[in-house]
Amino acid sequence: MRRPVRRKAIAALLLLTVLSPGCVTPGFHGPVPVAPVRPVYGVGFYNSPWGVNYGVWGPRYRVAPFHASVHLQSGRRAPHAFRPARVGRPVPSIPRRRQARRMRRWPALTAPPVQWTYRFDERRNASDLVAAPINLAPAGSRTCLLVTLDEGWQATLVALPLTR
């Protein structure tokens, strides 16, 4: 009676160990490297240093959109560099339609599962890697790990790369 209980405890411990980083950490990438790194993406936005003195915007300084389409006379009749909107055309607002509620989808596999198999050798008091993974979870997926423990002290870990 004691042996199954102990095995359940071991399995629970394994699950706690691997599921906490596996299912909570998005992707399967470990920690992000800390700077300095060689920049390869995007422009050097520090090319043009500029201050952040936005000043005190006056009460008539308005930049936001209207809440609904409105008819307004043009502020200036002088010639413009741009082609003004047709006379009489209302100034449009931003979209007002609400976002549809997102249905929760079951996660799907983004790549074939990855499997490791370890066998514990009681005589040598050591674990052997029986089967190694052949691929890794792709970026952009969340990885969950399943652990099974059989009667022969063989632990199998299966990583499931899932959609987020």
Partner 1 sequence: MQRRAAPIGGLYLLATLAAAQPAPAATTAPLELPAIVEPASGEHHPGKVIFHELVTPDIGAAKQFYGRLLGWTFRDIAAEGTVYAEASLAARPVAGLVQRPLPPGQQHQPAWLGFFAVEDIDAVVKIALQRGAKLLFPAQSFPNRGRETVLADPQGAVFALLASSSGDPPDVLAARGEWIWSSLITTDADTDAAFYQALFGYEVFDLPAEPGAQHLILAAQDYARASANSRPPQAPDLPPNWLSYVRVEDASKTAAQAVALGGRVLVEPHLDRQGGKLAVVADPQGAPIGLLEWVEGEDDEVPK
Residues 106 and 32: their CA atoms lie apart, in Å, by: 28
CA distance 85 to 87: 6
Nearest to 127 by CA among 5, 10, 2: 10
Per-residue x/- track, 6-35, partner 1 (CB under 8 A): x--xx--xx--xx--xx---xxxxxxxxxx
For partner 1, what does the binding mask look like between residues 71 and 90, x meaning CB under 8 A? -xxxxx---xxxxxx---x-
Q: Establish if 152 lies at the interface with partner 1 (CB under 8 A).
A: no
Task: Give residues 38-57 in contact with partner 1 (rule: CB under 8 A).
Answer: 38-57
CB of 139 to partner 1, least distance (A): 4
x-marked contacts with partner 1 along 110-129 as a string, rule CB under 8 A: ----x-x-x-x-x--xxx-x
Contact (CB, 8 A) for 140 and 27 = yes
State the DSSP code for 70.
B
Is 4 a residue that touches partner 1 (CB under 8 A)? no
**Residues 7/28/23/10 CA torsion (nearest 10 deg):** 10
Q: Which is nearer to partner 1, 1 or 81 (CB)?
A: 81
